[in-house]
A and B are shown apart, each in its own frame.
Chain A
């Protein structure tokens, strides 16, 4: 189900210039659509309609194909993420060590479901599949910071650091 929360697009001229330059550099390589979309997401943080449109026009690729690729891969976001992106590993190793409880606790605490963002734009929550730190299971990440060997009781304290 698509989330219908509309967030106004605030792209800057500078971001657009960066994107146009990236497209110009990569456009002629074989199979360059995905690398360009990844670059676009680096620049804007997500891939709103307006950004997809620029890629479509510059590369002469129809919008439906770009939208198709953007919605196929879980790493492309059509909506902006929170300032602090929380991802809880639900890989097998973390799951058998109780990461499901961590995830539920976060949903309860933040009042949002997986894939959503709190209304103040501060936290977004996602489940991810294995960050590869299975030795530290259960694991979650907040932006680039990794929290390992987690227990449910630690959640309040960790979130408080970001309040």
Chain B
């Protein structure tokens, strides 16, 4: 028995900020002070508050230390772990956490969250199957195999109201039912979509890193429900830690007889293999993903036939997203009513969001469906840094849209987001403030889509390219009002005619910014100005003669020789020669250079 447990986050965010070194230092110091038999060090998955990493939580008190460095370790060990005196200077505090609150569960960031999919993330050691089993892991699989018929399993998932967490929100139980016919007579497959390509979204990665067994257990449950014996997890190769932990988890589950032949002695066989992606966003689309597992270029194909009828290797297949899988064992154990008691009428349960961009608490949050965007941004997220004003939140990544300030009180669920022109997406939630140019953001997403379009169908391959060209024309200050109409017309054309989800949703960032921020487009076109001062070609750099000391630093650094002036006299920037590189602004020590 250990008297204290120290949990250190080993997720990608904290690993990047040095948690491995912290763990090493901690182990060494515990040995030095001969506490290694009294205090256990646990490397966990993501705690969510990546901004404050590396994160350390000391139990039983649940004291929450943030931005811990290896140099801090001797103090933590000799003060807190030996003498029981909390190291106040390292305890997480922000503007919203009153002094005196030390427990992780009382902070504003965690208080309003409700963890279902992330329940084990940051709590257990993901590389130890026993810890997963210790929190009720694989009980759901046991229950399903020994007490339930496959149809009862599907009915339970249907009753829970669970909808796919990958973006489109299709009812999970329905998908399973479609694939359930002819059990035992045909080869079927269960797939996990872990190709989290939406830039700025990392909830699936955190589940895989923090609780890999939950995905394996859920896939085995689905295998039983539809009558499949083989599963594949298609995971991004950009997630090395997740891949490693999945490999460990699969190995341990096989060793314990929880994957493989004759699971729990019930005669049910199920095994899982990993397939690594190779960097293609379109492979997050289900038909493209399966084509890629088959070893081909990951191009989508028309549906129907749906994967439930003809999927991987031509066999009936179900494919769910990581977060969807992470909900399944809890639904089986606690019942569909429990799950359906959370959320809104048509969107049940919770949703994990990756909160990023211009927000104080960057990280991962799980909230009941129906929570308002205001709660997420102002309370959990701690508001916008530097006293700036909230402009919009972007959800759904390159397929989604922007939610402007006027809709900040909307309860977040699938249908509400669609009704205001955005979408749930996989859960990226990027906050933008007044310094973000919405035309530039639309352009950014279109660049992404143009890069990632697989090229199979013309509306997407050529259409998105034309959209991007028009946007570039506008941000270069050459746009006309007719361009805005053309932009909209082309958007609807692509939406109606593209082959797969990637193409059909690619115009969304343009349409939603046009809908809510048309004045910004018009400012670019008519006034040739970028209100957020982002679009370089529309900016002019100027020198304030009252502040300029004539030190000549800017003139010496200007690559275009665009700045003239005598020493100790105010300088002037020649608008014709200026290439708007911003070097002078960075170099000026007197704040005399400004852009407008």
Residues of A within 8 A of B (CB): 30-35, 37-38, 65, 68-69, 72-76, 90-97, 128-137, 139, 146, 148, 152-153
A71 to chain B, nearest CB (A): 8
B457 to chain A, nearest CB (A): 15
B355 to chain A, nearest CB (A): 8
Which 7 residue pairs are nearest across A and B when measured between Cβ atoms?
A135-B50, A91-B199, A93-B356, A73-B278, A33-B295, A74-B279, A92-B200
Partner of B238, one of A68, A132, A139: A132
Question: Is B298 an interface position by the 8 A CB rule?
Answer: yes
Question: Is B538 an interface position by the 8 A CB rule?
Answer: no
Residues of A within 8 A of B51 (CB): 135-136
Nearest residue in B to A41 (C-beta to C-beta)? B278
Tell me whether A136 and B50 are in contact (CB under 8 A). yes
Tell me whether A74 and B278 are in contact (CB under 8 A). yes
A72 to B15, CA, bound (A): 31
Among the stretches B126-134, B172-180, B357-365, the one at the interface with A is B357-365
Tell me whether B276 and A35 are in contact (CB under 8 A). yes
Once A128-B238, A132-B13 are accepted as A-B contacts, the answer to whether A92 and B278 lie under 8 Å apart by CB is: no
Tell me whether A69 and B313 are in contact (CB under 8 A). no
A31 to B313, CA, bound (A): 9
A136 to B239, CA, bound (A): 16
Nearest residue in A to B397 (C-beta to C-beta)? A92
Tell me whether A134 and B200 are in contact (CB under 8 A). yes
10 A–B contact pairs at CB < 8 A? A34-B295, A38-B278, A93-B199, A93-B362, A93-B430, A129-B199, A130-B200, A131-B12, A132-B13, A137-B356
Partner of A92, one of B238, B295, B356, B362: B356
B22 to chain A, nearest CB (A): 15
Residues of B within 8 A of A152 (CB): 586
Nearest residue in A to B358 (C-beta to C-beta)? A96
| Number of residues from B at the complex interface, CB < 8 A | 54
Tell me whether B200 and A146 are in contact (CB under 8 A). no
Residues of B within 8 A of A132 (CB): 12-13, 202, 205, 238-239
Tell me whether A69 and B295 are in contact (CB under 8 A). yes
A139 to B363, CA, bound (A): 15
Partner of B275, one of A34, A68, A133: A34
A139 to B394, CA, bound (A): 20
Which of A91, A130, A152 has most B Cβ within 10 Å? Answer: A130
A152 to B585, CA, bound (A): 13
Question: Is B44 an interface position by the 8 A CB rule?
Answer: no
A36 to B295, CA, bound (A): 10
A136 to B50, CA, bound (A): 7
Residues of A within 8 A of B205 (CB): 132
A76 to B363, CA, bound (A): 31
B191 to chain A, nearest CB (A): 12
A-B contact count (CB 8 A): 134
Nearest residue in B to A149 (C-beta to C-beta)? B17
Tell me whether A31 and B362 are in contact (CB under 8 A). no
Residues of B within 8 A of A69 (CB): 295-297
Question: Is B16 an interface position by the 8 A CB rule?
Answer: yes
Residues of B within 8 A of A146 (CB): 15-16
Partner of A75, one of B279, B428, B441: B279
Which of A68, A97, A132 has most B Cβ within 10 Å? Answer: A132
Question: Is B192 an interface position by the 8 A CB rule?
Answer: no
Question: Is B439 an interface position by the 8 A CB rule?
Answer: no
Which of A94, A129, A152 has most B Cβ within 10 Å? Answer: A129
Question: Is B197 an interface position by the 8 A CB rule?
Answer: yes
Which of B12, B277, B313, B436 has most A Cβ within 10 Å? Answer: B12
Residues of A within 8 A of B109 (CB): none
Question: Is B293 an interface position by the 8 A CB rule?
Answer: yes
Tell me whether B436 and A34 are in contact (CB under 8 A). no
A65 to B238, CA, bound (A): 24
Once A31-B295, A96-B358 are accepted as A-B contacts, the answer to whether A136 and B17 lie under 8 Å apart by CB is: yes
B277-307 to A contact mask, C-beta < 8 Å, 1/0: 1111100000000001111111100000000
Tell me whether A95 and B280 are in contact (CB under 8 A). no
Tell me whether B238 and A131 are in contact (CB under 8 A). yes
Once A31-B293, A92-B428, A134-B356 are accepted as A-B contacts, the answer to whether A75 and B50 lie under 8 Å apart by CB is: no
Residues of B within 8 A of A129 (CB): 197, 199, 238, 279, 281, 448
A96 to B394, CA, bound (A): 11
Q: Which of B131-159 contact A (CB under 8 A)?
A: none
Tell me whether B16 and A96 are in contact (CB under 8 A). no
Nearest residue in B to A72 (C-beta to C-beta)? B297
Partner of A72, one of B50, B313, B362, B454: B454
Residues of B within 8 A of A68 (CB): 297
Residues of A within 8 A of B358 (CB): 96-97
Nearest residue in B to A127 (C-beta to C-beta)? B451
Tell me whether A34 and B278 are in contact (CB under 8 A). yes
Residues of A within 8 A of B223 (CB): none
Residues of A within 8 A of B487 (CB): none
